[in-house]
Amino acid sequence: MSEQIVIDPITRIEGHLRIECEVEDGHVTQARSIGTMWRGIETILKGKDPREAWLIAQRICGVCTTVHAMASVRSVESALNLEVPVNAQYIRNMIVGAHCLADNIIHFYILSAVDWVDIASAALKADPKKASALARQLSPWKHNSFQEFKQTQDKLKKLIDSGQLGPFSNGYWGHPAMQLEPEVNLIAAVHYFQALNYQRKINKVVTILGSKTPHIQNLAVGGVANPINLDSPATLTMERLFYIKTLMDEVHDFIQQVYMTDVATIAALYPEWCSYGKGNGTFLSVPEMPLDAKGETFAMPGGYITEGDIANFRPIKSFNDPFFEDNVKESVKHSFYKGDWTRHPYVSETVPEFHDGTGEKYSWVKAPSFKNEPAEVGPVASVLAMNAAGYQPAVKHTKWMLEKIGSVNSTKQDMGILPSTMGRHISRAIRAGVVQEAMLGQWDALINNIGSGDFTTCNEVHFPKGEQSGVGVHEAPRGTLSHWIVIENGKIRNYQAVVPSTWLAGPLGSNGEPGYYERCLVGNPMADPEKPLEVLRTVHSFDPCMACAVHMLDPKGKEYSTVKVL
- Contacts with ligand NFE, residue ranges (CB under 6 A): 14, 61, 63-64, 67, 476-478, 481, 499-501, 545, 547-548
Phi and psi of 474, rounded to 5°? -155, 135
Closest to 186 (Cα-Cα) out of 135, 252, 137, 241: 135
Q: How far is the CB of 499 from ligand NFE (least distance, A)?
A: 4
The single-letter DSSP state of residue 187 is H
Please say if 458 is a catalytic residue.
Answer: no
Catalytic-labelled residue, pool 18, 20, 64, 369: 64
Judge contact between 53 and 492, C-beta under 8 A: yes
DSSP letter at 255 equals I
Decide whether 189 or 498 has the Cβ nearer to ligand NFE.
498
Q: What residues are paired with 151 via a beta bridge? A: none
DSSP character string of 213-252: SSS---EETTEES----SS-TTS--HHHHHHHHHHHHHHH
Share in percent of the chain as helix, strand, coil (round to 5): 45, 15, 40
Return the number of the residue (67 or 117) whose C-beta is nearest ligand NFE. Answer: 67
For the CA atoms of 102, 106, 108, 112, the dihedral, rounded to the nearest 10 degrees, stands at -160
> What is the per-residue binding string for Mg ion in 439-478, x denoting contact by CB under 5 A?
----------------------------------------
Contact yes or no for 123/208 (Cβ under 8 A): no
Q: Does 497 interact with Mg ion (rule: CB under 5 A)? A: yes
Q: Is 14 helix (H, G, I), strand (E, B) or coil?
A: strand
Collect all residues with Cβ–Cβ distance below 8 Å to 470 and sequence separation of at least 6: 75, 76, 77, 78, 79, 80, 320, 484, 485, 487
Contact 314, 455 (CB under 8 A): no
In whole angstroms, how close is the CB of 62 to ligand NFE at the nearest point? 8
Q: Does the annotation count 61 as an active-site position?
A: yes
Active-site pick, 12, 14, 335, 431: 14
**Which of Mg ion, ligand NFE, none does residue 548 bind to, with CB < 5 to 8 Å depending on kind?**
ligand NFE
Q: In sequence order, what DSSP letters do the residues of 80-124 get, joined into one string?
A: HT----HHHHHHHHHHHHHHHHHHHHIIIIIIIGGGT--HHHHHH
For ligand NFE, give the closer residue by CB, 332 or 499.
499
Contact segment (CB under 5 A) with Mg ion among 125-133, 433-441, 463-471, 495-503 equals: 495-503
Binding mask 356-395 for Mg ion (x = CB under 5 A): ----------------------------------------
Cβ closest to Mg ion, residue 422 vs residue 505 = 505
Query: Which of Mg ion, ligand NFE, none lies near 61, with the C-beta cut-off 5 to 8 A by kind?
Result: ligand NFE
CB contact set of 317 (below 8 Å; sequence gap of 6+): 287, 296, 323
- Of 383 and 498, the one with the shorter C-beta distance to Mg ion is 498
User: Which residue is catalytic, options 78, 501, 534, 551?
Assistant: 501
**Is 61 an interacting residue with respect to Mg ion (CB under 5 A)?**
no
- Comparison of 316 and 497: residue with beta carbon closer to Mg ion: 497
Does 548 qualify as catalytic in the annotation? yes
The item of Mg ion, ligand NFE, none sharing an interface with residue 477, based on CB under 5 to 8 Å by kind, is: ligand NFE
- Residues written for the chain: 566
Is 100 labeled as catalytic in the residue annotation?
A: no
β-strand partners of 487? 468, 492
Which position among 478, 483, 519, 540 bears the catalytic label?
478
Least distance to ligand NFE, CB of residue 364, Å: 14
41 vs 545, beta carbon nearer ligand NFE: 545
In the list Mg ion, ligand NFE, none, the entry touching 476 (Cβ below 5 to 8 angstroms by class) is: ligand NFE
Residue 545 is among the residues annotated as catalytic for this protein: yes
Kindly name the residue from 21, 100, 274, 548 that is annotated as catalytic. 548
Q: Tell me if residue 486 falls in helix, strand or coil.
A: strand
- Active-site residues: which are they? 14, 61, 64, 68, 478, 501, 545, 548
Query: Which residues of this protein are in contact with Mg ion, per CB under 5 A?
Result: 497
